Structure 1
Amino acid sequence: MSTGHFVSFDGTRIAIHTEGEGRPVVLLHGLFSSAQMNWIKFGHADRLAASGFRAIMPDFRVHGESEAPHDPAAYPAGVLVRDVAALAEHLELGEGVFDLVGFSLGARTAIHAVAHGVLTPRRLAICGMGVSGLGEWQRRADFFKRVIDEFDTIRPGDPAYLARTFLKSQGVDPVAARLLLDAMDDFDLARLANITMPTAVICGDEDQDNGSAEDLAALLPDAHYVEVPGTHMSSVTKPELGEAIADFLAA
């Protein structure tokens, strides 16, 4: 495992964690999580490396070991897609020579990037994402804005308490997080037709946080649904997620 940084399109320093050798696979983590939490801690990067892949795991801005600027100018529309595009350019990952995996926010970012022609991976794995997580993002964003705005007053029993606890555990910068939430918008589901590479939609059997993953798979031109154990929070802790990703990319 190695960790370095690169400078994105606007000068923000983005951390990159890398493990293994072989065909590159870019893994994008979830909202207010990190590469460490989603891909490294529970062994998914190890599994990919053992399967002959080079796991490339950036921390999104505001997350993990990447910078969290407070300047609103650092959060233009589509900022995370632009960061991932800058990463691909930095690593010279051209069309069809890498695979792309995303969980939750990472899945949204991957879908936006591919559907708008910014990235063209060989294969795409979408994890922890359903139809409403794309087309109704503002509802989800409003939930997290409330968590940030009412952070010190949220108590056990409140539906937002678990999210508040997770943000606290990850040391998320609330000012930067609020700015980032405003930089993301809903996705036009009609653009799913542009995602033509083989795709796996992988989701926990108890995960409905972003709507139906099965329905999302049905809307994609060349996709199939893979069910793994767990909720939205717990599925990333289970080996079945990494196994499903590695099996799909190795096919």
Structure 2
Amino acid sequence: MSERVEQTISSFDGTELAVHRMGAGRPVVLLHGLFSSAEMNWVRFGHAGKLVEAGFEAIMPDLRAHGTSGKPHAPESYPPGVLARDAAALVAALDLDDYDLVGFSLGARTSARAVIEGLQPRRLVLAGMGLEGLAGWNRRAAYFIDAIDRFDEVKRGDPAFMPVSFMKTMKIDRVAARLLLQAVDDTAPAELSAISMPTMVLCGDKDDDNGSAERLAETLPDARHVEIPGTHMGSVTEGALGDALVRFLGNND
């Protein structure tokens, strides 16, 4: 496997973002999901390695308030659309002008917003995402904010048990995460016409956490829906995820 290179960049407001890079081929920016990290989402289960073996460079930031990136506690560090602005800052800092963009769950929301606001990857992958999830962030955010607020009292059987358990595993900074949850923008279906590049909507066959992946693919101008095994969290552990990325991004048609 290719050696991993670690670096940091300063985002638009000076917050330091950790960036993990593997490989030396065509750049693919990969944005992980909520409470996760580049290591957990892309490296641990082999997806980045498969991309590297196929001739790509995997560029994997830890999102703000996640992993080894900055976790500021000041509310002003979380303006609306902060993650899309971070993605644009990353592309600018690394001087990327011909690249692909992949996002899972929160990373998919971020990728969609970043494209709507001006990023132009060659190809786009929205994974773990459905049409309703892009426009229904307030409901999802409230679910996770509740899990943070009741963190110390949640027991097995509680609807918040799984996110709390994952936050514990990932040693999430709850103050920073709570602020971030309030800074994610909704994306209305009417805005999706701006996503004109070839797009793959990749989703587990038991994943309906963020609505209908099929409807999202149907709404986008140039998209295909691809199904892999798994639930929302489980699909990340499936080798099929990395295989699907390689097939789609390696297709020059």
So what's the TM-score if we normalise by structure 1? 0.98
Write out aligned runs for 1:9-158 (5 A).
Answer: 9-94=12-97, 97-117=98-118, 119-158=119-158
Q: Specify the alignment match of 2:9 in structure 1.
A: 6
- Is 2:227 the counterpart of 1:227? yes
1:132: how far off?
1.5
Cα distance in 1, alignment partners of residues 24 and 231 from structure 2: 31
Write out aligned runs for 1:121-200 (5 A).
Answer: 121-200=121-200
Q: Which runs of 5+ in 2 are unaligned?
A: none
Cα distance in 1, alignment partners of residues 45 and 6 from structure 2: 18
1:216: how far off?
0.3
Name the SS of the counterpart of 1:57 in structure 2.
strand
Cα deviations by residue, 1:54-102 (Å, 9 ceiling, x for unpaired)? 00000001100101000111101110011111100000012xx100000
1:153: how far off?
0.8
Percent identity of paired positions between Structure 1 and Structure 2: 58
1:217: how far off?
0.3
Cα deviations by residue, 1:155-195 (Å, 9 ceiling, x for unpaired)? 10011101100011101111111110111132121011111
Cα distance in 2, alignment partners of residues 115 and 248 from structure 1: 21
Cα distance in 2, alignment partners of residues 131 and 138 from structure 1: 14
1:226: how far off?
0.3
Cα deviations by residue, 1:128-153 (Å, 9 ceiling, x for unpaired)? 00012111110000000000000011
Cα distance in 1, alignment partners of residues 27 and 117 from structure 2: 21
Name the SS of the counterpart of 2:27 in structure 1.
strand
Q: Which runs of 5+ in 1 are unaligned?
A: none
- Is 2:249 the counterpart of 1:249? yes
